[in-house]
Amino acid sequence: MAYNCPRCGAPVKRKGSTIAGATGGLAGALLGSAFGGFECENCGKIPRKEFPPEARQKMMLSSVLMIVGAIALFVVVVIIIALMQ
């Protein structure tokens, strides 16, 4: 989901943790992105409080969905490993 920078109008991207992705795989990358901030190519880091309320609400929903997805992915992997034994 793309959001526009409240300062310049350019698209912003989620800035996740590369360490979380490297150590936790896909689930770690999802969690790192869910808790990461937003960054504009022109303006740098943008605090969430600068976005309009509608955008903040969408950001929160997408973060919650990423967390739920990471947990579901972890549970599926554990179940698959348990069934293989």
pLDDT tens-digit series, residues 59-72: 999 999 999 999 99
H/E stretch holding 28 reads: helix 18-35
Give me the pLDDT at residue 53, please. 93
CA dihedral 67, 69, 74, 80 (to 10 degrees): 170
Alpha carbon distances (Å) from 2 to 55, 61, 81, 85: 10, 13, 35, 42
Question: What's the structural domain count of the chain?
Answer: 1
Q: What is the mean pLDDT of residues 69-80?
A: 92
Q: What is the mean pLDDT of residues 63-85?
A: 92
Q: Which range marks the domain in which residue 32 is found?
A: 3-84
What is the chain's Cα-based Rg?
15
Q: What is the mean pLDDT of residues 46-66?
A: 92
Give me the pLDDT at residue 78, please. 93
Sorted by sequence, the CB contacts under 8 Å of residue 75 that are 6+ apart come out as none
pLDDT in tens, 2-43: 789 999 989 998 886 666 556 678 888 888 888 888 999 899
